[in-house]
Amino acid sequence: MNKERKICAIILAAGRGSRMKSGDVNKVTMLINDKPLISYSVNLLEQMNIAPIILVVGHAKNSVQAALKDREVEFIEQLHPLGTGHAVLTGFAKVPPDATDVVVLYGDDSYLYSKDILNKIINTHIIEDAAFTLLTIKVDNPEGLGRVVRDESGKILDIVEEKDATFKQKKLKEINPNCYVFRVEFLKKYLSEIDKSPVTNEYYLTALIKIAVAKNEKIQVVDGGYLPWKGINTKEELREAEKLINLIKK
């Protein structure tokens, strides 16, 4: 990692996760191999000496704080569930003044990332001097996931949530698994420019792609191919995630 850059991290862990039916605990505290789901992401960032690690909490915040009570992390509360863009804006208040870059992960789907893939994203971001860098992967069944939209030359144009996607866009298999590295200066400029979705009344972090394209800011994409990844929204998916982790470990 480049010593001239000061990289910190924001993990989003405020969502209600209603499909998980986790009651009075946040779904990121559900156990995989007897460890809270969120601990996998924190472990990865600690191994890479990325600090501070900022946790944006909201729903059942006490359960997240309890799950990480012995860890060197900082908490900040998202008081209103206004989407991922608003969550990052909330977490940004804790970013130290000397930070140059921010890794952003989602607490419920970053448990499979390795040091190799995150290092690749960070190094690409630094070498290419990008405003922000994101990971994309390909999945056989992209149902329910945001699709990556590119132009004819392969340049990324947008990430479209499935509920907003056209029939043609729904056929795309390249998706966004919510792994980003941003320049602090880019976030300072543009986080507040994200418009509220007319469909959900939320502020999507992915809206920064269209903003960056419009402002001629440099976006770098790391194509992870068919990298193992699975978002967790239900208890069935939690069990599938545990099988996937154990398979990868073998």
* Residue 11, burial from CB neighbour count under 10 angstroms (0-12, 13-18, 19+): buried
* Residue 216, burial from CB neighbour count under 10 angstroms (0-12, 13-18, 19+): exposed
The number of angstroms, rounded, from the C-alpha of 59 to the middle of its chain's C-alpha atoms is 18
Q: Is-above-0.85 flag for pTM?
A: yes
Q: Which residues share a beta bridge with 147?
A: 160, 175
What is the C-alpha to C-alpha distance for residues 125 and 234, in angstroms, rounded to an integer? 33
Burial code of 75-91, b = ≥16 C-beta within 10 A, e = fewer?
ebebeeebbbbbbbbbb
What three-state secondary structure class fits 100?
A: coil
pLDDT of residue 3: 57
pLDDT of residue 236: 85
| CA-based nearest residue to 53, from 99, 1, 86, 120 | 99
For the packed helices 37-47 and 115-127, what is the interaxial angle rounded to 10 degrees? 50
Token pair of 123 as six digits: 């190094």
CA distance readout (Å), 97 to 22, 88, 188: 37, 16, 12
pLDDT of residue 20: 59
- The answer to whether 84 and 203 have CB atoms below 8 angstroms apart is yes
pLDDT of residue 230: 78
CA angle 176, 179, 182 (to 5 degrees): 115
- Domains contained in the chain, CATH given: 7-249 (3.90.550.10)
Q: How far apart are the first and last CA of the chain?
A: 28
Positions of the chain with pLDDT lower than 50, given as ranges: 1
Residue pLDDT, tens place only, 186-215: 999 999 999 998 888 899 999 999 999 999
Residue pLDDT, tens place only, 100-144: 999 999 999 899 899 999 999 999 999 999 999 999 999 998 888
Q: Are strands 147-150 and 156-160 parallel, antiparallel or unpaired?
A: antiparallel
